[in-house]
């Protein structure tokens, strides 16, 4: 997992061709370079160079398999809102660094608003979920409040079941 970026990071600009490449990769990250080039309408060598440049510039952050958590024994998913103590604002990076190492954690979102984070987890049982919250979140002296919401179903945008 990539660390929380510094607040003044400059986002790279992408042109129309890069946007088409990114859209195609978002639909199918396993697409062959030749097929991607044909889909976008550019030469395969140009496509390969553009994809490489997008990775180097941090636009493409990585490739991953979208695996159903139940397949590895974690059928219960939850989003846990976390609010840190006001005195703990200097510990944000440490909090994230610790949380992302926990086996239940799928994603951590740093928020603006009343809550500081949403922690997306996959748990093996309700007891595992409870223990995760009690031990790893509520048991942390930097945490002021947690609110757990169960996920009944997750549908990825553009991929209706």
**Tokens, residue 47:** 């496509």
CATH architecture of 16-56: Orthogonal Bundle (1.10)
Taking residues 95-108, what's their average pLDDT? 96
pLDDT tens, position by position, 56-79: 999 999 988 888 999 999 999 999
Same fold across 16-56 and 69-151:
no
CA separation, residue 70 to residues 73, 74, 79 (Å) = 5, 5, 16
CATH architecture of 69-151: 2-Layer Sandwich (3.30)
Q: Is residue 150 a contact partner of residue 101, using CB atoms and an 8 Å limit?
A: no
Taking residues 10-18, what's their average pLDDT? 83
- 32 burial (CB, 10 Å; 0-12 / 13-18 / 19+) is exposed
Report pTM.
Answer: 0.78
Residue with tokens 């748990």: 123
Residue 1: pLDDT band (50, 70, 90) is very low
Residue 21: pLDDT band (50, 70, 90) is very high
pLDDT tens, position by position, 37-62: 999 999 999 999 999 999 999 999 99
Q: Is residue 59 a contact partner of residue 12, using CB atoms and an 8 Å limit?
A: yes
Q: DSSP of 22-51, one letter per residue? A: HHHHHH-TT--HHHHHHHHTS-HHHHHHHH
pLDDT tens, position by position, 103-148: 999 999 999 999 999 999 999 999 999 999 999 999 999 999 999 9
> For the chain, what are the domain ranges?
16-56, 69-151
Residue 154's pLDDT is what?
85
């Amino acid at each position: 997992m990539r660390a929380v970026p510094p607040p003044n990071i400059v986002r790279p600009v992408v042109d129309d061709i890069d946007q088409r490449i990114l859209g195609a990769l978002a639909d199918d990250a396993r697409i062959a370079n030749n097929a991607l080039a044909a889909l976008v309408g550019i030469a395969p060598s140009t496509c390969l160079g553009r994809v490489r440049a997008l990775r180097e510039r941090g636009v493409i952050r990585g490739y991953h398999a979208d695996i159903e958590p139940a397949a590895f024994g974690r059928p219960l998913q939850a989003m846990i809102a976390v609010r840190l103590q006001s005195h703990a604002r200097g510990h944000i990076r440490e909090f994230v660094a610790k949380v992302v190492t926990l086996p239940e954690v799928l994603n951590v979102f740093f928020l603006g608003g009343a809550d500081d984070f949403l922690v997306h987890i996959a748990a093996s049982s309700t007891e595992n979920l409870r223990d995760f919250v009690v031990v790893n979140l509520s048991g942390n002296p930097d945490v002021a409040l947690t609110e757990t919401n169960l996920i009944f179903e997750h549908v990825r945008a553009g991929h209706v079941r």
